[in-house]
Each structure stands twice: as structure tokens, then as C-alpha cells.
Structure 1
Amino acid sequence: MEFCHGGRLLDPTLAGVQIWQVRITADGEPVGSLRAARCLWWEAVDLRERLTDEGSFLAEVARQLLDPDGAFIQDFDEMVKRPDYMLVLDRCEMVPPWDDALTVAGVVAAAVGRLTDGSFAVVFPRSGAPGSVGAQLLEQAGTLLAAVEFTGELLVLDTSTGALADAAVRVRDRLIDRVRHGGVDRDDLDEKDWLENQEYRALTPRTAALLRLAVEQLSQEAWQEVAALGDEALPRGAGGLFGSLPPVTLRQDGAWRRQMARAFDDLAADLADGRALLLCKGEEMALHLGIRRAQNIHRNRPRLLARAVEGLPAAARDFDWYACSDLLFEDHDVLSLFDDDVDRAPDVADRALPDWFSPFDDDRARAPDRGFRHP
């Protein structure tokens, strides 16, 4: 997406209304465009008159939202937190196959994120709204992004409520799913195919490499804390890696923590071979924490990520953390130890904790004499 807004430095018409053109490309080729008017009521001498002069859908917005004196009408003023900060989307053109509501919703979410802050009212045309181009797509996109009906011609989204942020995440996840699953939303996949398809269960090389990096980081932190803590019990709310485990583990001694640190090592060794075996509860917890750490690296450490996957082939299913969480585990029972009712019933936890490092299946157990990475 390329954003363009131009004008003369001292042009008085730029005060209060900025017209932004967004050019959308795929693989370097243009596939569509979006136009948005960024309106600041307090900077414009008369926002109603200014929008009316633009004509088309912007004039319709002025007619419906501003009274003849230039003030916002009461219904709009009461509906949004800051009516004086407004972004109006009035034109969207997309070529096939990009002309679908989900793609446009992703484009709009990105544009709104770039052109607004947390206190804007975003106005969408509804299908048939006068003067708009691509109104049907914009209405569908607005609905996906949690915009609500204001009039027969307008949808409105208040960015201060947080609804947009949640909806934008859902839209982005669905778009990523389409790429990963050959143009099909995950929700449309047959459940049996999803759960039993070995391709989905297999880690891609880049996903395995990033998970390995994450688990190795956790292993290093675990061994550092093993040395520092000894047999010391941790208080509730303690920081660090062992403080992030279920509260019922805080009373465990140094020997137990050494086994947990080794679980990270065992899992990292598996991931070096591109797999995650998960042969005991401790390794399940290690992978849960590893997925969380890998997600953080994926989102916030692009340079570290690039080094971790350098030279490995890219795949559409790379970094599908939902699939990792859903398909690599037989169940998520170990996470129930985070529940408050378990913490209030320590006898339940005490019965569960000794089994954390016992193999689920004796025929698939790790070598008991493999020792520890650190003495």
C-alpha cells in the first residue's frame, strides 16, 4: 500500500480536510485504490462547507452529519467520542480477484491504522450511497470491521471503543488463513481434514527454526534461574521463567526445576530435527511457552527472525501459531493448572506435579540416562 497526499505548503484548503489516495499493489502490479478524507473539524473554518465543495459522497456526509451552522448533529455527537476527528472513506476500486469484502476490510483496516489514532470516527458509505464508488465493498468491509449503521447511507465506526482493533485482528487472521490453506478460510475446512491432515501437523522448516530459537532462549533462562534459585520457593506473582509457570509450581525445589529446564533442552533437540514429540507434561508446558515466545519474536523481532530462518525455504504455512497450538498437542490439560480453582486446591496440583516428567508412553520414553546439560 502506498499513501499519497499532496498540496501546496500554504494552501488554505488543506486546513481541516486532507484527501489521501492509497494505491494498492500485489507483486508490484496495481490491483486497486482507496480514497479517504481526513477531516479535522477544529482546523476547518467551516467543515460542512468544505466537504460540500468536494461534492460526491463527501457532500452527502456533510449534509447528514453537520447542521447548517457547521456543528455536528446531536445523534452523531452522542454516538462517537470525538466527532471532530473524522475519516471518510468514499472510493474503493479493486480488480478481481482482490475485489472481495475480506481483502478490502484488510486494506481499510491498514489505512485507518495509518491515518487515524485512537479517537477518530470512521465513516463508510452503504450500498447505494450517493456519490460513492465501490460502496458495496466498503459497506461489507465496514461491517467486518465492526462499523454500525447510522443512517440508510452511512456506517460509522468509533475507533476509541477498541472494536476496530479486535475486528482488524480477526480480518488479518482470516486473510493469512486464506494464504496458508489455498484460498480457503480455516473455518471452512472440513474438521476431519484439519485434525487428521499430516501436512497441517508437520512443522515447516522456518516454523521449526523459530520455535527452536524460542525454546533455546527459554532453556537458557531456565538454567540461569536454576542456579540462582536453588530450592527457594517463589512468591506468588514472581517474575522470571519459573514465575510464569502455573502458581502451583512455585513451591517446587531445585531438582524439579532442573527437570523443567531439561524439558526445554529435549524439545529444542527435537525441533532441530524439525519436529516436536511432546513425551511428557513438562514438554507440553515447554512448547506452550515456546509458542508464546516465538509469537513475540515473529511480531517484534524481524531482524532476529530473519537470522533464525536464513536460507530456509518459505512456505504458506510458516508461523501458523494457531495450528501449532491446535494440532501439536493431544490436549491442553496442563494449562488447567493456571486455573484459580486448582490453585485453591493444592492437593490436586500435588498429585499432578510428580507426573510432569513421567513419559506418557513407556515405549516412547526418552533415555533415562541422558543426563542434564548442566551439572
Structure 2
Amino acid sequence: MTDHAATAATGRAPADPERLALEFRHGGRLMDPTMAGVQIWQVCITADGEPVGSLRATRALWWTAIRLRERLTDEGSFLAVVAQQLLNPDRSFTAAFDELVKRPEYMLIFDRCEMVPPWDDALTVAGVVAAAIGRLTDNSFVLVFPRHGAHGGVGAQLLEQAGTLLAAVEFTDELLVLDTTTGALAGASIRVRDRLIDRARHGGVDRDDLDEEDWFENQEYQALTPRMAALLRLAVEQLSQEAWQEIAALGDEALPRGAGGLFGSLPLVILRQEGGWRRQMARAFDDLAADLADGYVVLLCRGEVMALDLGIRRAQNIYRNRPRLLAQAVEGLPAEARDFDWYACSDLLFEGHDVSLLDDVLDGIEDSDIDDAMGMVDPAPLDWFSPFDDTRARDPARGFRHP
């Protein structure tokens, strides 16, 4: 059932996941021998500080538990089911389980999930479970979920649905399993997170539920939010500063293969461009920064398309890894639901433009021909700063920020 269908059926929109917070709790006596190899974690889930649910996850470590099958069986309920179906009495793993997964000796078992309405939906629980996985495992664990009707599984139906969203597969009538070494979890977690972000920003609307025409017809997506414009401006200003610093250091020298820095990150055929070309690229960053100071972007040449593509990548990095810098950039600006919606930002700003142009520069050049290509001046980059439309070009007399 889609989010739209769920809303129609229940009369309530999915709850905003940005209100949720998680607190992880695990404790025990220092000298307690039963804690060896079995760690039970309680995840308390709150919305705006009020409890709305809980999740229980058990780390079962075969190497450190003396007899993991007996230890899990002693816990009873769903953990006992896991012990009986995955481990043999002689402490070995069952043949079917050992064949299915790469590292069976490290398990994270989800056996209890309780959520109050309106938070009791599979997508929200999948997001919570993914967060727990990220904190309690690495890429060598096996994840175990109860299936609906499994003995001792509290909230088994929600956990089964969440596990399925995260790419877990059926193992028995009572168990789903997911081997994190396969990489399937990473892609599934990204999809879950993206859907939750859409839900938070668009009032329960799932992007997958709308066709492209309906998406663009929504007037909410016709302009950058003030905070998004400020972050993009910061990003292109950083790139401009780096570009001008490299220009001052390099002069008209061509870059050697394997060079670092901003210009060294561009495709190989770009490396042979001289200082004049690099100055125009730096000016493209400056032109975009000037546009963004007024809250909009107009792309007038291929170089600006590339500059904006690099700017969005830099802005995403700031958003993920520089929270204090981000806070400074957007201080005093109103928050909106669509802030930092990278899908909508890219769709809006790149509409009608080809953002894969750098890949096109290298089309037809085989690896064995790279050295030959490095010795030529590729004509395509020379056209990057010619306007798409002569009637909508920037003032050619605007000069450069640096002489």
C-alpha cells in the first residue's frame, strides 16, 4: 500500500519522521558472565520528547559466547526460535544457514517492536531499524527478523515488513535473514531514507507515487528555498576560492596526469587547458554565486552547468559533514519543508540541461588512447563558456574577480 493509499484508508497522513529521536540503552553488571556474546539493546523512540515506541535488538556473537545456542534458548521467546533454527546442538550452524550467509558467527536479532499510531507503519520502522543496524553492526553481520506469526516475536508483522524493505529474504516460515556482506542493505537503506525524506518534506507524498509531470506542476518546486540558496552559494564560493588559488599557483602550466586539487579532479582532457580556460571556470563559480545571492540560478553556458553540478556535490558534503558551517550559512533564514531536497533542487535547476557533459568529453577515448588524448587540445572544453543563447548572455565586460 502506498502512502497515499494508506492515508485514504486510515484517514491520517504518515507521521513526520523528522520528529523522531532514538536513545540506545544497554547495561549489566561488570562481571556478569551471561553478557559474554549476547548483548541485548533497548532502543527508546520518542517524538518531540514523548515516547512513541521501542525496539529491541540482540547482538549474538558466536566467537565470544561459550554456547550461543543454549544462551539464546535460555532467553526464550523469539531468541529461542532463532537458536533452534540456526544452530545445531553441537554449537555449529545449520547447513542451510551456513551456506546462505558469509559470516554466520555475527548476528543482530530483532525480536520486539512496539509503536503507537501514527508511527506504526513499515517505512518508519524500517528507518528506525536501519538506524539501529548502523549503530550496532558493521558490514560482517547477519540480520535476523521475525516473520508474521513467529513464536515470541512482538510486533512481528511490522518487523517482517521493515526487514523486507531493507532487502531481507525468507529463510524459514518464522525467520527473515539479511547478510550485510552482500551490499544489498546499503542500497535498501538509502531507498528507505529517501522515501522518509520525501514524506517529511512533502506532507506524506512519496515521490514514486507521482509521475514527472505532476511533480513539476506542483508550484512548491519552482524556486529554491532561502536556506538552500544560501548553502549552494557557500559551496560555489568555496569552489571559486579554490579555483583562484590554483590559478595563482599554476599560471598557464598544464596539469600533469594524476594532479590533485579542483582542476585535477576534472576529466583528463581538461588538464591540458591553459590558465585562460581555468580563469573562465573560476568566473563561472563567481557568476553563480552572484545569482545565488539573489536566490536563483540561471545557467547560460556549459561551464556554468558543470560549475553548478560541482556546487551541488560540495553543498551535499557540507550538509552531511559540516553541521556547524551549515548552521552559520543559514543563520536567520526561515526553515522550510523543502530545505536540502537534493532531488527537487537538481530537477529544478538542471531542467533542460545535460549534467553528464563531462562524461561526453571522454566518449570514444579508450584507456590505451588516454596518453594521446592528453597531448591534444580537446575542442569541447573551449566551447564551455560560449552562451547557449546570444540574446541571454552575461555581460562580456564584467571582467574577472582577480586580475
Give me the TM-score of the superposition, normalised by structure 1.
Answer: 0.95
Deviation readout 1:312-335 (Å, 9 max, x if unpaired): 111111111222222211344352
Distance 2:346 2:179 in 1: 33
Shift of 1:364: 2.2
Q: For residues 255-294 of structure 1, what are the structure 2 equivalents within 5 Å?
A: 255-294=276-315
- Over 3 Å counting, the alpha-carbon distance change for 1:198 and 1:160 in structure 2 is same
Residues 56-75 of structure 1 mapped to structure 2, 5 A cutoff:
56-75=77-96
In the aligned structure 2, how far is the partner of 1:260 from the partner of 1:350?
16
C-alpha distance in 1, partners of 2:53/2:313?
36
Alignment of 1:42 with 2:70, yes or no, is: no
Paired residue secondary structure (2:196):
helix
1:342-357 to structure 2, matched below 5 A, reads 342-343=364-365, 350-357=378-385
2:53 to 22, 32, 43: 32
Hey, what does 2:393 align to over in structure 1? 365
Deviation at 1:256, TM superposition (A): 1.5
Task: Decide whether the 8 Å contact of 1:124 with 1:156 is kept in 2.
Answer: yes
Query: Is it true that 1:225 corresponds to 2:240 in the alignment?
Result: no
Q: Deviations over 1:335-363 (max 9, x none)?
A: 233244254697x9944333311222233
- Partner SS state of residue 333, structure 1: coil
Deviates more, 1:98-107 or 1:37-46: 37-46
* Inter-partner Cα distance in structure 2 for 1:342 and 1:205: 42
Structure 2 CA distance, aligned partners of 1:232 and 1:262? Answer: 19
Does the aligned pair in 1 maintain the 2:244–2:279 contact within 8 Å? yes
User: Which among 212, 231, 248 is matched to residue 210 of structure 1?
Assistant: 231
Counterpart of 1:336?
A: 357
Q: Answer yes or no: is 1:157 the counterpart of 2:178.
A: yes
Return the match for 2:165 from 132, 144, 160: 144
Partner Cα distance (1:241, 1:252) in 2:
14
Moved more, 222-231 or 104-113: 222-231
Q: Which secondary structure does the structure 1 equivalent of 2:57 belong to? A: strand
Secondary structure of the corresponding residue to residue 250 of structure 1: helix
CA separation in 2, counterparts of 1:12 and 1:129?
29
Q: 1:126 aligns with which of 147, 171, 175?
A: 147
2:24 counterpart letter in structure 1:
F
Are the equivalent residues in 2 in contact too, given 1:248–1:343 (CA < 8 A)? no
3-state SS, counterpart of residue 111 of structure 2: strand
**CA displacement at 1:305 relative to structure 2:** 1.0
- Total equivalences in the alignment: 375
In 2, are the aligned partners of 1:343 and 1:349 still within 8 Å (CA)? no
Q: SS at the partner of 1:341?
A: coil
Distance 2:330 2:246 in 1: 28
> Counterparts of 1:334 and 1:312 in 2: how far apart (Å)?
29
TM-score, normalization by structure 2: 0.88
